[in-house]
Structure 1
Amino acid sequence: MTAPAPDSPAWFKSSFSAGEQDCVEVADMPGVLYVRDSKDKTGPSLAFGPAEFSAFVAYASTLDV
């Protein structure tokens, strides 16, 4: 689901994305994780519950991109 990001989340990128241009950032808030495009910090974010985020990460790790 697309959701407005909280006012002042602590956004971070994976240490594996050092120097990369195509990255996502994650903000971990109580009960929800927000994901956004690191190149569009004012754009929309996706909101995931903990179980949905775990499923997303598990699926993404199977992709061969």
Structure 2
Amino acid sequence: NLRLSDARAKSTVQYILSKGISKEQISGKGMGETEPKVDCKEACSEEQHAENRRSEFLIVKK
């Protein structure tokens, strides 16, 4: 799961870079199962799994 999460983060970063954002302005990190949005242990529904497969952005003002 960590590898998949990291690949998803890198893909998201590449997409943002393709839109003209400077690489100094963005970074990505896969979290795997370490920071789930929905902590449902072993009994996640498919919808809950989908919520945990996400990319989050923090926009900061310089």
Give the TM-score normalised by structure 2: 0.27
User: Which has a greater percent of strand?
Assistant: 1
| Structure with larger Rg | 2
Give the TM-score normalised by structure 1: 0.27
User: Which has a greater percent of helix?
Assistant: 2
Higher relative contact order (CA 8 A, sep 6+): 2
